[in-house]
Amino acid sequence: MSDQRTPTQTLDAVVVGAGFAGLYMLHRLRQLGFSARVIEAGSGAGGTWFWNRYPGARVDIESMQYSYQFSEELQQEWQWSERYAPQAELLAYINHVVERFDLARDIQFNTRVVSAVFDQAGSRWQVTTDGDDRFSARFCIMATGCLSAANKPDIKGIDSFKGPTYHTGEWPHDGVDFTGKRVGIIGTGSSAIQAIPEIARQAAHLTVFQRTPTFSVPARNAPLDPEYVANVKQNYAALRKTAKQQFVAFDTKANERAATDMSAEEIKVELERRWAMGGLNFYGGFADLLVNQHTNDMVADFVREKIAQKVKNPATAALLTPKVIFACKRLCADTDYFETYNRDNVLLVDISTTPIAEIASEGLTVADKAYAFDALVFATGFDAMTGSLNKIDIRGSGGNTLKEKWSAGPRTYLGLCSAGFPNLFTISGPGSPSVFTNMVTSIEQHVEYIGDIIAYMGKHKLSAIDATKEAEDAWVDHVNEVAGGTLVNSCSSWYLGANIPGKQRVFMPYIGGFPPYVEKCNEVAKNGYEGFALK
């Protein structure tokens, strides 16, 4: 009998995901003369910006910085319209990149990678998809994103609601019209904080179910001033250089002083200045924000006071006031979030001590109180950092799965490779600065680093690269040690996997900052990729 299966396609690399990471990886591989195919589950490119189409979705790092810098022509020619680009503009930018660099011919859309199995004898990855495609590639590069596996909470009766339900991370492409509708929304993280003011303006009524209040600072979004844009473009290289010297890989005009070295008056001025600047510049206020409890309390109290000033009803204001460490969960930047609770058509329901009991056909119940809606929104986040990887059956040398290996928390060397999985790379993987930085800049660094490794292997006629167990153990220890020295290790955030029931609580991203991380990567390369076994 003949083999009816589709013939195996042979490539240098398979790249999984066509977001910021996968697209640049494809471009880079081509520049280096390698053949590659990108496999993407969505019907279009864009990753995060393809899926997260909820009302109000926009980036919270300034667009002039949250963009590729690998092409001078691209960054000079593209015109951002607002300080923080809305989702549609980001998607237009990504589609422009696809077209400009002729990427689409090597992207296979509407296709999900099901398995990636390493064939030790041939040092190749055998990749299969839900469309029955088979690829054989020397390298498998996971560009699957940090926040792309939607978390649907395990609430009794979740499928019984008779109206439409939406997850912010899987929003319908045609948009949703909430006019005249009673809407319920579960969650008050970044996505909800952007969506709530927009939905409240449109819907007849909005009920927000809040488990944990979130710290948020005003984004102060505005149309971009042409003079400012011209100035940035004239000095783009300098801005990018400054940004790369920052902990977060974007320019927050960081204050290098710790609050402990400042007078009470100086601290007050700095806090007000940061509040007026808007957005995540707030991170840059004090060098000891994430390591000194007293500094953190002071910043937290400042923001708590601002919340109290914004929300008219004192009981609602109290519920909206976070009690945890400032920036312990991802800091949010909002437009009129707290003010939205002053509207007559918005109700805040606290579910911190009494969780949602059940979702029923008309709505949901908390304790014995029922809330009825026409539509229900889940702004309940993602199985972060490992969720998308765990959905793929990834088997390394000896047939071990990555999921099993990571069952007690992800283990990587530099967030790039995991021992026992040769020639497999993760872009912005766990153990790299990723979500603590400007993602686009971190992605570019990883893509270029992976490209360099692959080129190096070609030059030295090497067939396999794998992290050594010793290097990986030392890196994981370092990642944990750095996290343990900060205040953010202590709360129930997605950084720790605490939002997913049953997930091991391990601090996943590297919180040592972008510059020391890059320095470490460069040192590793300079020493002939020390910590990697090359064959």
| Of 200, 175, 494, 490, the residue nearest 334 (C-alpha) | 200
Q: 244-248: long-range contacts at Cβ-Cβ below 8 A with a sequence spacing of 24 or more?
A: 244/441, 244/514, 244/515, 244/518, 245/515, 246/284, 246/514, 246/515, 247/436, 247/437, 247/513, 247/514, 247/515, 248/280, 248/283, 248/284, 248/436, 248/437, 248/438, 248/513, 248/514
Nearer Cβ to ligand NA7 (62/472): 62
User: Which of residues 15, 45, 90, 147 is near ligand NA7 by CB under 6 A?
Assistant: 147
Tell me how far apart the alpha carbons of residues 496 and 504 are, in angstroms, rounded to a whole number. Answer: 8
Tell me: does residue 494 bind ligand NA7 (CB under 6 A).
yes
CB atoms within 10 A of CB 230: 10
Tell me: does residue 153 bind ligand NA7 (CB under 6 A).
yes
User: Which of residues 63, 87, 128, 188 is near ligand NA7 by CB under 6 A?
Assistant: 188
Nearer Cβ to ligand NA7 (126/428): 428
Specify whether the backbone of 56 is left (phi greater than 0), alpha (psi in -120 to 50) or beta: left
Tell me: does residue 168 bind ligand NA7 (CB under 6 A).
yes
As a whole number of Å, the end-to-end CA separation of the chain is 38
Nearer Cβ to ligand NA7 (41/377): 377
The residue ranges of DSSP E strands in 181-339, in sequence order, are 182-186, 205-210, 216-218, 332-334
- Residue list 204-223, contact with ligand NA7 (CB under 6 A): 211-212
Nearer Cβ to ligand NA7 (139/382): 382
Tell me: does residue 330 bind ligand NA7 (CB under 6 A).
yes
Residues 6+ apart with CB under 8 A from 238: none
Tell me how far apart the alpha carbons of residues 85 and 96 are, in angstroms, rounded to a whole number. Answer: 15
Nearer Cβ to ligand NA7 (417/496): 496
Stretch that binds ligand NA7, among 107-115, 230-238, 269-277, 379-387 (CB under 6 A): 379-387
Tell me: does residue 19 bind ligand NA7 (CB under 6 A).
no
Nearer Cβ to ligand NA7 (189/285): 189
> What's phi and psi for 214, nearest 5 deg?
-120, 140
Q: Per-residue x/- mask for ligand NA7, residues 99 to 138, rule CB under 6 A?
A: ----------------------------------------
User: What minimum distance in Å lies between the beta carbon of 54 and ligand NA7?
Assistant: 9
Stretch that binds ligand NA7, among 17-25, 127-135, 182-190, 481-489 (CB under 6 A): 182-190
Nearer Cβ to ligand NA7 (197/422): 197
User: Which of residues 25, 186, 443, 524 is near ligand NA7 by CB under 6 A?
Assistant: 186
Tell me: does residue 430 bind ligand NA7 (CB under 6 A).
no
User: What minimum distance in Å lies between the beta carbon of 153 and ligand NA7?
Assistant: 3
Tokens of 440: 């686009």
Helix axes 20-31, 439-459, angle to 10 degrees: 30
> Which letter does DSSP use for residue 528 in this model?
T
Nearer Cβ to ligand NA7 (100/152): 152
User: What minimum distance in Å lies between the beta carbon of 159 and ligand NA7?
Assistant: 15
Nearer Cβ to ligand NA7 (150/277): 150
Nearer Cβ to ligand NA7 (180/355): 355
Nearer Cβ to ligand NA7 (270/383): 383
Beta bridge partners of 334: 218
- CA geometry: angle 62, 63, 67, nearest 5 deg: 120
Contact status, residue 443 vs residue 97, Cβ threshold 8 Å: no
Nearer Cβ to ligand NA7 (381/420): 381
Tell me: does residue 187 bind ligand NA7 (CB under 6 A).
yes
| Of 88, 130, 89, 153, the residue nearest 355 (C-alpha) | 153
User: What minimum distance in Å lies between the beta carbon of 452 and ligand NA7?
Assistant: 28
Q: Per-residue x/- mask for ligand NA7, residues 278 to 317, rule CB under 6 A?
A: ----------------------------------------
Tokens of 309: 């000033």
Helix axes 236-244, 226-234, angle to 10 degrees: 80
User: What minimum distance in Å lies between the beta carbon of 213 and ligand NA7?
Assistant: 9
Tell me: does residue 189 bind ligand NA7 (CB under 6 A).
yes
- CA geometry: angle 267, 308, 55, nearest 5 deg: 100
Contact status, residue 62 vs residue 228, Cβ threshold 8 Å: no
Tell me how far apart the alpha carbons of residues 38 and 41 are, in angstroms, rounded to a whole number. Answer: 10
Stretch that binds ligand NA7, among 366-374, 377-385, 388-396, 483-491 (CB under 6 A): 377-385
User: What minimum distance in Å lies between the beta carbon of 165 and ligand NA7?
Assistant: 14
**Radius of gyration over alpha carbons of the chain, in Å?**
23
Binding site for ligand NA7 (CB under 6 A): 147, 153, 168, 186-192, 211-212, 330, 351, 379-381, 494, 499
